[in-house]
Amino acid sequence: MIVGKSVVRVDAYDKVAGRTKYAGDLCDRHALVAKIKHSDVAHAYVKAVHTEDAMKIDGVVKVFTCFDVPEHAFPTAGHPWSTEESHQDICDRHLLTRHVRYYGDDVATVVAEDEISAKRAIEAIRVDYEELPFVLDVQEAMKEDAPLLHRKYPGNILAHTQIRKGDYASAVQEPGLIMIEGWYDTPTVQHCHIENAECYAWCEGNRIHVMASTQIPHITRRCIAQALGVDWGRVRVVKPYIGGGFGNKQDALYERSGWRPYREAGVPEGRDVCEHQSQTCNTLSPNIVGKA
């Protein structure tokens, strides 16, 4: 940094000229393509996943369902991992889920030789659900009779936190004040970055390598290891330039899923989250509801 002088960004010319390489540009062109089968219900238990028709499609290599992968619970939030259990993020995700908790949850993965075959296979998969009641309102979700997302957390409340500053009881007694009290909420926010959350993975010996469009390579490394139930040292994450993130890529998204196809087929795997999935099945900035 030089005070009083304009400094040219080291990456400016390559980005303007289109020479900068992003995760999608660096993906092995011989990589398999992986796509996710998302739930089309809001809350349910998966009873069965029918993959027979999908496996008959030319170009399909393998289909993994929620019954085929280990159930190692892990978090996705982009926070450092605390050594104090009370400060750790909630481990509320699995590679693929048998208990669907939102519309768009991950139920199965298709691995194919090309994107068209993968998309056709996703459409051919049929899922049997035991549908469960759901609520779309925060106040309703905290009632005693509300359906639970996680049995460990009654009332769907993860934690209680208090932040206090000043003496509210005395302040509201000040003469001339007009009190306006009510419930307020903010909407969810979609980050709308230009580059989708793309990644690909390969193995060398016993080590897993992941190239990912992420803002948090070190935390993503830890999340991948937790999801797979392996030592953190077995995972290496490479982060090239990213085409925007704005906080969305500060969560671990689909990087954790890039290991099984290599083990099955012996070639790298590619994964691309399309714009529709990025909008409907990905992490958003959550809404806030509060009384003021």
Give the whole-angstrom CA distance, residue 196 versus residue 258. Answer: 16
Residue numbers of the domain that contains 286: 27-157+182-291
What's 108's domain CATH number?
3.90.1170.50
Mean pLDDT value of segment 71-89: 92
240 domain-assigned? yes
pLDDT: is 170 or 45 the higher one? 45
Q: Which residues contact 42 (CB under 8 A, 6 or more apart)?
A: 100, 102, 103, 134
Q: How far is CA 38 from CA 205, 215, 242, 281, in A?
A: 31, 24, 25, 8
CA dihedral 5, 11, 17, 18 (to 10 degrees): -160
162 domain-assigned? no
Q: What percent of the chain has pLDDT over 70?
A: 94
Which runs of consecutive H residues, i.e. helices, occur in the chain? 12-17, 23-26, 52-55, 115-124, 138-141, 168-171, 217-228, 260-265, 275-280
- For the chain, how many structural domains are there in total? 1
11 domain-assigned? no
3 domain-assigned? no
pLDDT band per the 50, 70, 90 thresholds, residue 171: confident
Check residue 262 and give its pLDDT: 46
170 domain-assigned? no
pLDDT: is 25 or 264 the higher one? 25
132 domain-assigned? yes
pLDDT band per the 50, 70, 90 thresholds, residue 278: confident
Check residue 263 and give its pLDDT: 55
Q: pTM score, two decimals? A: 0.89
12 domain-assigned? no
177 domain-assigned? no
